[in-house]
Structure 1
Amino acid sequence: MSIGLAASLSGAFFQATNYAFTQKCQQTSGYSSAQILLASHAAMGLIAALPFIGLNAWRYLDPSHFVALIWINLPYAIAQLLIAIAIQKSDVSIVSPLLALKIPTITILMSFMGQPMPAWHQLVAIVAILLMAYLLSRRAGRLDVLPACLVIGASLGYAQSDIEITRYTQDFVGLSALMQVALTVSINYVFCGFFAGLGMLSGCQPLSLVYAARWVALSWFVAVCLLLVGFRLSGVLEANVAQSLRGVFGILLSMLFLNKIVKGQGDWHFKLLMGTGMTIAVFFYFL
């Protein structure tokens, strides 16, 4: 197994872990999704300050980076908020697999922007993903549209943020791929943490919430580092297929970490089947 693929798989696991920690924090802290989002990013700013100082990251900063960081983080923040609301309205075991909707969402968007129509096997994969998302949303006997719509909106935000952060990483010319990732992550999340901290202060939020959201922050920070390494070292194909496994990881973590398995296992078997099926469909899309 390549280092890039291993990093992507680990990143997918930590991303699913982040969704589980987010749901747990929502259930135990009593704070809103927006409050937890601000607190977790303030915590990530503190975490990112360590490599920021250790790498002397300020030496690589340029005034033009401010605009780039805005374009990275505005769609990202909207996506994170939509995912947090989706988890609150639904469940990690539903939201995590539904993130495979990112593939058809981006494909349809790119088609409207003048890109060539997808190949036949990509269309088959898209139909399969949409069908499994529909079946997953109907797990309770009715179509639960809101989480799927929120995930689609989040997918657009994540896609735009991914494009911008990849461009930003490439600004650090002449450095190794790992150094580019380290600088990008540390600068970006110090930037996020600064504005999240201002948001908490302006809203008079208790600083104890930063501590309450510490696991949400740490799991996402680790996930982003690993996923960026995966994209830089293994390429889009392997990284996207590996990242789609967060759906399966999310179901397993929800079963174990959140103790959700209380009314028999039939529903969980179905969710696991749908999550695995979506991963296979994503792999088929990139063939």
Structure 2
Amino acid sequence: MSAFSLADVYRARRRIEGRVCRTPLVESPALSRIAGVPVHLKLETVQPTGSFKLRGATNALAGLAEEGVTRVVTASTGNHGRALAHAARSLGLEAAVCMSSLVPKNKVDAVAALGARVVIAGRSQDDAQVEALRLVREEGFAFVPPFDDPRVIAGQATIGLEILEALPDTAGIVVPLSGGGLFSGVAFAAKRIAPAVKMTGVTMARGAAMHASLAAGKPVLVDELETLADSLGGGIGLDNRHTFAMTREHIDQLVLLDEASIARGIVHAYREERLVVEGAAAVGMSAVLDRVLDEPRGPLVIIVSGCNIDIELHRRLAGA
């Protein structure tokens, strides 16, 4: 991805300005006590669609609209689809979102409520992508990948700019890791501005495709399993062009969490931080609670990626 540069990230920020929130960075006294250094939470939960995905989707669709594209489609575990539907509606584009039967109903309903055409296909992200590519071939849609796309990555990378502008002495950034769009974008921007920043990716132990791919030295297929961190599910694509190499280049530590640990993070967020978060957004907090992060040298930032959890599930976990 040699053509990708920091200039692309600043261009993305200009393109999404006014359509996407510059999100708060707030200190967590509870997590700071455990970590022994200041811990700050980057709250992507306040985005209009409830997750960071709005950044990448908005940048990608705005670029496509400039090129005259009118119909877009994606495959999603929920949050990217919701972001694409929101961005498409604001830009006047037709949108279709393909999702597997594993995607929680609340996320499917949220996409439909934004006016996108919803297609349920198979039981994995890979199945949903096959259906999305059929719509490209047969109905003339433009495909917008959920993570492995330069414009999507550049949009997510704007989080890295905001973190280092707000907290220039940041020593480490903890990022939920799935297909790598968020991680590779934030890491790319952060390490070009502050090369010493330590980048940690955190994911679930059940069906972690990027972890398996990094271990194998190439993109590999994994079985997609049910997990509290459903937004981190799905493969990275055997023909991955960008995020695998960028993640491998920039990752300093990779942490796997079991389901009990993810649940503890969700509960902690609610009881101590007064935040309702989904499992994927809780993993950074879980890693601090479990004391599995390499010893931080200074201020630590955790990206809290989204709040789109099924509310009944949240009640059962948090006892609310």
How high is the TM-score relative to the length of structure 2? 0.25
Q: Say which structure is richer in strand.
A: 2
Structure ID, larger Rg? 1
Q: Say which structure is richer in helix.
A: 1
Higher relative contact order (CA 8 A, sep 6+): 1
How high is the TM-score relative to the length of structure 1? 0.27
